[in-house]
Amino acid sequence: MGFFDWITGQFIDVIDWLDDSNDTMVYRFDRQGNEIKYGAKLTVRESQIAIFVNEGVVADILDAGIYELDTKNLPIMTSLQHWDHGFNSPFKAEVYFVNTKRFTNLKWGTKNPIMVRDPEFSMVRLRAFGTYEIRIADPKKFMIEIVGTDGHFTTDEIESQLTNLILAKLPTILGESKIPVLDMASNYEKFSLYISEKIAPFFEEYGLKLTKILIENISLPADVEKALDKRTSREVTGNLDDYIKYQTGNALGSENGGIMSDMVGMGAGVALGQQMAENMRGHKTTTKSTPPPLLKEDEKFYHIAIDDTSKGPYDSRAIEEYISKGIIKEETLVWREGLSDWIEAKDEFKKYFKTTPPPLPKK
C-alpha cells in the first residue's frame, strides 16, 4: 500500500449512523484502526446522542445537529501531528451513537406463580404477563453502568435483566395495591400506572426511563379457576335449592346419563301427567294404597284437545274415566300415534259413550 493510500485510510471525513435494526440501543462508529480527521463532519440525527470517548474517558456528549470536529471542542489529535510516534497517535478517540428513541413491545412474565394476600381469598398464587416500553434517559450513565465497551448493544442484552427487575418488585407492589383479584381485570389500566410509578425509580439507576408498562393478563391456578367457574354457575341460580335443580337438570340433559337418566325422566313425565289429571278433576291428589294395574304391551296413549290446548298423553283407562265424568265429550278431538289427524272422540271410543234408546213409537 502506497503512502497516499495510507494517508487516505487515516482520515474519516463523515461520521454518522443510520439504524435499521429497531433494537440497537448503542452503536460504536466503526473506526477500523483509523483516527478521525481534524475538521471532520459529525451528523447526529433526532433520537440520537453522540458520545466521544477519548483514552477511555467520556470526552463530550452531543445532541442532534451537524458538528465540525476540531481540537477546540474535543481532545482529538491526528497522526500527522505526531511524527515522533511514527504516525500512531497516543490519543485514541471513539464515537458512540446512543439511540434515544422509545423501545416498545418488550416482554415480561412470571416464570413461577407469585404468592400474594387477597382481601377476599386470603392467599392466592398469581401469574401475570405483559409488555413494557423504555428509552435511554441518561446516555452517560447508561454507557458507564450497562454498555461498557460493547460496540453493538441491543435490547436483547438487557431485556432479561429488566424483566427480572419487574418480577422482583411485583409481589411487593401486588401486596401494597390491595386490589382484590376479582377486580384486577377491570383495573388493568390503573394497576399498570401504579406499577410504573413504583418500578420506574429502579430503571433510573441504569440511566433508563420506564415510559409504560402494560398488563395483558393476571391469572389464577387452574384448580382455583375451576372453583370460581362453579361458584359463578351457582350464583346464576340464586340459591342452593335452585342450584341443586340446576345440577339435576344438567345431569338429565347429559349424553352420558344412560338408563338412569331415562328412568328419571320417564318418572317425571308420569308424575306430571298424573298432576295434570288431578287438576282437571278439581281435587288434590291422594295417595293410593294399591299400585295401578300394569300397562298392556299394546296399550295406546291419547292426546285430547281441551280448551284449544293439547293435553296428555293418557291411557285408555284415563280416557274412559274422563268420558264418564263428562270431561271428554263425543265431539272432543283426540289423537294417538298412527292417526294422520285429529278425530272426534266418538269415532275412537264409541263403546265408552252411553247410548240412550230413541223414544217409543206412538200407537
Specify the higher pLDDT residue, 158 or 38. 158
Judge if 78 and 110 occupy the same domain: no
| pLDDT classification of 104: cutoffs 50, 70, 90 | very high
**Boundary residue ending a domain (35, 65, 99):** 99
Sheet of 343-344, strands arranged across: 309-314, 302-306, 333-336, 343-344
pLDDT tens for 249-280 read 666 555 555 544 554 555 555 555 666 666 66
Judge if 113 and 212 occupy the same domain: yes
> Is residue 73 assigned to a domain?
yes
In a 13 Å sphere around the CA of 173, the CA atoms on its Cβ side amount to: 18
Burial 92-121 (b: 16+ CB within 10 A, else e): ebbbbbbbbeebeebebebeeebebebeee
Judge if 143 and 199 occupy the same domain: yes
Q: Domains in the chain: how many in total?
A: 3
User: How open is the CA angle 294-300-305, to the nearest 5 degrees?
Assistant: 120
Residue 185 has pLDDT above 80, yes or no: no
Judge if 61 and 130 occupy the same domain: no
Judge if 204 and 107 occupy the same domain: yes
Judge if 60 and 162 occupy the same domain: no
pLDDT tens for 302-359 read 889 888 888 888 888 888 888 888 888 888 999 988 888 899 888 888 888 876 566 6
Judge if 95 and 7 occupy the same domain: yes
Residue 194 has pLDDT above 50, yes or no: yes
> Is residue 142 assigned to a domain?
yes
Measure the CA–CA gap between 165 and 124, rounded to whole angstroms. 22
Measure the CA–CA gap between 200 and 270, rounded to whole angstroms. 71
Domain containing residue 338? 298-355
Domain holding 336: CATH number? 3.30.1490
Judge if 94 and 112 occupy the same domain: no
> Is residue 270 assigned to a domain?
no
**Boundary residue ending a domain (51, 81, 99):** 99
For every residue of 146-196, DSSP letters joined together read IITT-SEEETHHHHHHHHHHHHHHHHHHHHHH---HHHHGGGHHHHHHHHH
**Boundary residue ending a domain (184, 219, 254):** 219
Element (H, E) at 312: strand 309-314
> Is residue 350 assigned to a domain?
yes
Judge if 61 and 115 occupy the same domain: no
